Structure 1
Amino acid sequence: MRNVLIVDDDTIVRITLRSLINWEEKGYHIAADAIHGRQALDFIKDHPVDLVITDMKMPVMDGIGLLEELNRFKDMPAVLVLSGYDDFKLVRDAFRLGASDYLLKAGLTEETLVSMLKRMDEEVFQDQQGETGEEKKPVTAIPDSSLLGDMALGKRSLDESFFQQEYLVIQFEIEDFHKVSARFGEDFEEELIKPMIELAGQIPRVASRCIFGAVGPSRYVMLYRITDPGQYMDNSVSACRQLCNVWKHFMNLSVSVGISSPGNGSKDFLTRFEEAGERLRLKYLKGKAKICDPWEKDVVSFEEVRQTGLEYARLLKGLMVGDELSVWSEKKRLFSDLYKMELKAAKDVCLCIICNMAWQLSDNHDDITALFVEEINYYVKIGRLDGMRSLELWLNNFFRWIMDYNAHQTDRRQADMMIRAKRFIMDNYANPELTLGSVAGFVGLNEKYFSTRFTKEEGMTFSNYLTEVRIRKAGELMETTDLKIYEISQSVGYNSVEHFTRVFKKLCGVSPGGYRK
């Protein structure tokens, strides 16, 4: 059994990782979790760990700092990195420091995690076991598709022979990956990645001038060599559209695209790769399964969106958490700024705020398209507004929709937490150490808040609920087994048979012995 340490400052991510799969069945044991790198190091110094799953961005000590410290260990554990879509620079640094692989947080599903652990078993832990006496498999040539994906991630140094002429770097992302991934089982390599690459290779103009590879189950990269200087803009967009149509037709996958500006030589490759990813992140303003290229007119840039997000960070945070007071004061500042601008500039700021809102929803595993029944192209929607007053009115309505939606989602998520809490109680009622605090910690809620919410939703306190579960289970054991009373007492979480007897009689109106008779 391999020991696993989860390192992430986000409680929800830690809980998700713990509960996503049956770790024991896969040969792994969750030894502990930590909220930052320093806490993780303190644990590892006293406990053997085989696999560390760590976030990149954390307080006190981030993922890069943790990797740097782990490199000082005589026996460094395997490290699996968690990242966001905009963290490829950090992922490359992580590989440089010895990380084994990475998982995209937004694409984290049972299937992706199982597939990753299977790959770790075959490629990482198998290597650590040394010689097994079996005949070594012959070394096979690595296909260009794999080399390209590895170079993009920093797993492999750049090969100058790939970049002998001008090129574009294009990124592709499967839409709603967390929903569609279940169709492809546990072996993403065979069931998803390989078919995606093979279908791309069947398109003549892609096969003749492009290299297409995967950087993950949900994300792909293509090197488009420019052999048509006068027409490459239209031709590259046309090739991307044809690829997306093929994947839609044969695999029922919707795919969005981000295209970089031209690059030259290996020195430009990583910059163009990141540029393609940044352009891909602007897709939310156009709708799903769209192509975002550098030649579009009258669109906002990634840098404009990023800067606007920094400028109005308090407004965005208030919208996400439902802070009416903060939103009210920040809206006044926003509209004061907008009325000082030309209408076109004000509309661009509006678009940047919408895109930032989409990013934050995506970071929360949510989707801005869920706000409305129909898909919206925000360039068209905002473009139709004929003045500052109508822009202000529309933005006010949009902010209200966002806050109402987030409030509903928060209620739903917290209701889901109560369901998980009750399941946790049912799985652990036999443990005498089960407490309100341990259940609250499991679902990631403050103990006092959890206690209040539990009482409100269940109509009884946590303590009374746990007692009722234990006594009901005790009654079932008396009806269906020949266990002695003290054995039943221990089986339902009571160390003292006397205390168990008093509680049972109080709740059932009869002693355990009388109930059995």
Structure 2
Amino acid sequence: MLIVDDDTIIRITLRSLIDWNEFGYCIAADAINGQQALDYIRNNHVDLVITDMKMPVMDGVGLLKEINKEQQIPEVLVLSGYDDFNLVRDSFRYGACDYILKEGLTQEALISVLERLDRKNPAEGKGSQAEDHSKNSRSDSVLLAEMAMGKQPVSGKFLSQDYLVIQFEIEDFYKVSVRFGDNYEEALIKPFFDLAAQIPRVASRCILGTLAPSRFLMLYRINDTVQYEENAVSACRQLCNVWKHFMNLTVSGGVSSPGHGENDFLDCFEEAGRQLRLCPLKGKGTLSAPWVKKSVAYEDVKNTGDSYKKLLRGLLLGDDLMVSGEKSRFIGELYRIGLEEGKEMCLRLICALAWEFSENHDDITAIFPEAVNYYEKIGRMEEIRILELWINNYFRWIMDYHTHQSDRKQMDMMSRAKRFILDNYANPELTLKSVAGFVGFNEKYFSTRFTKEEGMTFINYLTQVRIRKARELMETTDLKIYEISQSVGYNNVEHFTRVFKKNWGVSPGNYRK
């Protein structure tokens, strides 16, 4: 198996998430972009590639295109973000076998995909996938989801009248998912669908499909062309209330503009996803639709984020110097465009910041103890100077939050590092570099931080762990000294004896006596 991702944390997570040997795989290598992966594949045998979509030099789609030109074609499992659905669809066109959302990269999700691969007929060719998964043998729910994700061509089977596409997302999914155990299908998805089927107007005119355990889509057939907007939003709110009341799940939704026929379906699906990404401005458990007045537009948020990328980056890094200069530019623009346009620009920037939080596996709502509807909050401001004061305070809240988070993450990093040492002290190859790599820091920084936090160097800490374990073995077992030496990570018994005596004042043999 070959891991391809430019994110160090993702590569480390994939390595340690499951026991790969148990599933018949060994990790051959890592690559940080598609070109590096392709070079490896051309010179080595690879059965499975797990690849990110967005990478420098060559992205995931480019890698898939090139792999298809090779004589030996491995299976390819795609890692995707919620905003990468276009790339995922392209990946299926070029032969990807499945995908996992990065936000959903759990042990259960990975095992589920590997089990599906294990059940797959080895003789099955990539080109026969459409025939084997005949539309006639699929439920409407599965077909809808596979059309959206590009696993199946779009069919006009249930697209003959006007419709809306809605994407739903379970908020804080990886906090609440533990309630459902390993079997999402039975414990989560089935009751999720069963509850929807209890609502007559949903059952009669809607089809619900699953994109991922935390992401769903719904096709809403329009019967009343006059009141469809109100009726669709009302049905979605009823669904979200039912899921909240009976399953304690907070669900947000994004609604598309009307579509008709198969040619509009993918555009509507993408628009629903874009609307869903605007929900952070209203808060969790809300709906976003394109016809709501005074709502920000997805493209405007994207453009504002691009214009103030440096400001967003500075806020995320807690870099006062970077924020200071960019903040002055932003405030100056507020005064130039005036109060009303300035309010909208603040909304667009906050939404872009929420996206940045999500990219960093964080949650912008965690900054405040209570839910905030930014449309209402900013809409009440009646003077430009009040808006300036509020946005200045908002930037400071962000900076303070990340300072706190950074301190917490440093503590988490040390805990993870020490746990890794305790789990791997018996490995003679355990080094400062390998532990630093596991927690995602460079060797020099980790060494300095470890010494500062623990009051001793990494090598002294590792030695203490090994000697303590050796003492326990001497006190509780009849193992020979050379066997104990090997059990705690020392291949050379003479070296072990010297280290033990230096740390404990007596030789291992005398200690045992």
TM-score if structure 2 supplies the norm length? 0.94
Q: Confirm whether residue 444 of structure 1 aligns to residue 435 of structure 2.
A: no
Q: Which residue of 2 aligns with 1:94?
A: 91
**Per-residue deviation, residues 396-421 of structure 1 (Å, max 9, x unmatched):** 11111111111221222222222221
Counterparts of 2:471 and 2:499, CA distance in 1 = 12
| Partner Cα separation in structure 2 for residue 160 and residue 171 of structure 1 | 20
Instruction: Provide the rounded CA distance (Å) in 2 between the counterparts of 1:188 and 1:302.
Output: 32
Q: Could you tell me how far apart the structure 2 residues matched to 1:137 and 1:374 are?
A: 47
For residue 212 of structure 1, give the secondary structure of its aligned residue in structure 2. Answer: strand
1:42 and 2:33 matched = no
* Structure 1 segment 22-171 matched on structure 2, within 5 A: 22-123=19-120, 141-171=137-167
In structure 1, what is the Cα distance between the partners aligned to 2:177 and 2:14? 17
Question: C-alpha offsets along residues 249-307 of structure 1, whole Å, 9 cap, x if unaligned?
Answer: 22221110111111122111111110010001000000111011112111111111000
- Distance in structure 2 (CA, Å) of the matches to 1:95 and 1:466: 47
Map of 1:6 onto structure 2 = 3
- Residues 1:464 and 2:460 are matched in the alignment: yes
Aligned to 1:435: 431
- Aligned counterpart in structure 2 of residue 477 of structure 1, from 449, 467, 473: 473
Q: 2:133 & 2:84 partners in 1: Cα distance? A: 35
SS at match of 1:162: coil
Partner of 1:340, secondary structure, is: helix
Counterparts of 1:140 and 1:23, CA distance in 2: 36
Contact 2:135 2:143 in 1 (8 A): no
- Residue 238 to residue 137, structure 1, CA distance change in 2 (3 Å): closer
- State the alpha-carbon separation in 2 of the partners of residues 109 and 378 from structure 1: 32
Q: 1:369 is matched with which residue: 347, 359, 365?
A: 365
Match of 2:323 in 1: 327
Q: Which has the larger displacement, 273-282 or 158-167?
A: 158-167
1:259–1:276 contact (8 Å) kept in structure 2 = yes
2:285 pairs with 1:289: yes
Partner of 1:211 in structure 2?
Answer: 207
Moved more, 406-415 or 252-261: 406-415
Distance 1:274 1:141 in 2: 26
Cα deviation digits, residues 435-481 of structure 1 (max 9, x gap): 11111112110110000000011110001111111111221222222
Deviations 1:26-73 (A, max 9, x none): 444333322112222233334433222111001122111111122123
Q: Alignment RMSD, CA only?
A: 2.0
User: In the TM superposition, what whole-angstrom CA distance separates every residue of 1:126-165 from its partner, at most 9, and x where no partner exists?
Assistant: 958xxxxxxx999982111111100000000011232212
Equivalent residues of 1:115, 1:187 under 8 A apart: no
Letter in 2 for 1:394: W
Total equivalences in the alignment: 507
TM-fit CA distance, 1:94: 0.3
**Structure 1 residue 17, shift from structure 2 partner:** 2.3
Residue identity over aligned pairs, in percent, reads 67
Q: 2:504 matched to which residue of 1?
A: 508
> Aligned in 2, Cα 1:124/1:271: closer, same or farther, shift over 3 Å?
farther
C-alpha contact (below 8 Å) 1:111/1:182 kept by paired residues: no
Q: What letter matches 2:370 in structure 1?
A: E
> Deviation of residue 119 (structure 1)?
3.0
**Other structure's SS at 2:491 match:** coil
**Once structures 1 and 2 are overlaid, which stretch shifts more, 504-513 or 274-283?**
504-513
The answer to whether structure 1 residue 186 and structure 2 residue 182 are counterparts is: yes
Aligned to 2:268: 272
Contact map agreement 2:276 2:288 (CA 8 A) in 1: yes
Q: Distance in 2 between matches of 1:137 and 1:99?
A: 15
Matched, 1:261 2:257: yes
In structure 1, the residue matched to 2:492 is 496
Q: Report which stretch shifted further, 72-81 or 439-448.
A: 72-81
Distance 2:106 2:343 in 1: 37
Give me the TM-score of the superposition, normalised by structure 1: 0.94
One-letter code of the match for 1:391? L
Paired with 2:84 and 2:118, the residues of 1 have a C-alpha distance of 25
Three-state SS of the structure 1 residue aligned to 2:137 is coil
1:18 maps onto 2:20 in alignment: no
Q: Distance in 1 between matches of 2:478 and 2:222?
A: 80
1:224 aligns with 2:224: no
Gaps of 5+ in 1: 129-135
Secondary structure (helix, strand or coil) at the match of 1:76 reads: coil
Q: CA deviation at 1:432?
A: 2.1
Q: Which residue of 2 aligns with 1:131?
A: none
- After TM superposition, list the pairs within 5 Å mapping 1:319-468 onto structure 2: 319-468=315-464
> Contact 1:338–1:346 at 8 Å: present in 2 too?
yes
Q: Distance in 2 between matches of 1:79 and 1:137?
A: 19
Alpha carbons of structure 1 residues 54 and 224: separation in structure 2 relative to 1, 3 Å: same
Which residue identity lines up with residue 120 of structure 1 in the other structure? Answer: L
**Residue 202 of structure 1 aligns with which residue?**
198
Give the deviation of 1:124 after TM superposition. 6.5
Unaligned runs of 5+ in 2: 126-131
Offset of 1:391 from its aligned partner? 0.9
Letter in 2 for 1:287: G
Task: Give me the whole-angstrom Cα distance separating, in 2, the residues matched to 1:122 and 1:364.
Answer: 34
Counterpart contact for 1:255–1:290, Cα < 8 Å: yes
* Cα deviation code 1:160-191 (max 9, x no counterpart): 23221211111111111111112222222232
